[in-house]
Structure formats: structure tokens, C-alpha cells
Amino acid sequence: MTISGRVSRREFASSGAAIALLSVLPVSLTSAPRPGSLARSRFAPFVGAAFRLTGDGDDAEVVLTDVGDLRPVTRTGDERRFSLLFTARRGRLAADGIRTLSSDRFGTVRLFVSPVGRGGQARHYQAVINRL
């Protein structure tokens, strides 16, 4: 800044260059998830695969049993609108909340997961991805 409290052209230009540089940084350098990390095509190959669902001390081993369309179906197989259904062995259902889903082959993603269904031989959890 100059003595008069005004910003010089040089200072203005250098701060503008810094802002421009920050706007082109790859998303992976920020805390936002990668755009492809919540795409249907990332989950579909893992139907039948085992995952670890962790968070709030309610850890569980789950199997991804279905990648389905959301109702009403606007476009079958939509990459941005789908649900994930997981099954775990019978036992206490964990509360809904943000959980970390991970496996060695898949990697890690954080999702809001809710228990669904009642009783039976297994526990079921669902995550809904709706990125309009």
C-alpha cells in the first residue's frame, strides 16, 4: 500500500494474479470431493464387493448390493442421481449419519448413510446421491 492508504497498481495486479492462480488449482488440492467420486460409474463395478463403513463408533462390514435409479426416474442410469444399498450381517443398526465408506480396491468416500428396512436376517443401509 502507498503512504496515502491506497493500493498501488503493482499491488493490485499481483493480488489479481494470485486470485487467478487460485481459481485454476485442481479440485484435488481443495477439501471438495472430486467430481467423479460420487458418479454412478465409480460404484457400479463394485456391486457384490465388501466395504468398511465407519464413523461415530458404529463400524460395520457391508456389501454393496445395489446401485439403483431414484424415483421418479428422469434418466435411467443417471450418473448424478442414484441410490446405493448396502447389506450387513444381522445386529444392531447404526444410526444415520455421515460415514466413511472404504475398501482397498475402491478407495474412500464420505456419504450420508441411513439404516432402511426392518428386522430380517440382515441390516440394510442406503445412501442417496442426487446432484442436480
> Domains in the chain and their CATH numbers?
35-130 (2.40.10)
Collapsing DSSP to helix, strand or coil, 15 comes out as helix
Q: What is the pTM of this model?
A: 0.68
**pLDDT at residue number 21:** 35
Kindly report, residue by residue over 29-73, the tens digit of the pLDDT. Answer: 333 445 457 899 999 999 999 999 988 877 889 999 999 998 887
Q: Which segment of 52-56, 74-78, 100-104, 112-116 scores lowest on mean pLDDT? A: 74-78
CB 39 within 8 A of CB 33: no
Using 50, 70 and 90 to split pLDDT, how confident is the model at 93?
low
Taking CA atoms, 96 is separated from 1, 13, 54, 121, 123, in Å, by 52, 49, 12, 20, 13
First to last CA, the chain: 44
- Which position has the higher pLDDT, 70 or 28? 70
Q: Which whole-number Å values give the CA distances from 7 to 10, 14, 73, in the listed order? A: 8, 11, 55
The pLDDT value recorded for residue 80 is 87
More confident residue, 2 or 42: 42
Give residue-wise pLDDT tens across range 110-122.
999 999 987 677 8
- Per DSSP bridges, beta strands 60-69 and 50-54 are antiparallel
* Identity of residue 92: R
In this structure, the number of other CB atoms found within 10 A of the CB of residue 94 comes to: 21
3-state secondary structure of 47: coil
Q: Taking all residues of the chain, what is their mean pLDDT, rounded to a whole number?
A: 77
Confidence of residue 7 (pLDDT cuts 50, 70, 90): low
The neighbouring-strand residues paired with 129 are: 82
8-state DSSP, 70: P
Residue 2 has pLDDT above 80, yes or no: no
* Amino acid type, 22: L
Predicted local confidence at residue 34, as pLDDT: 53
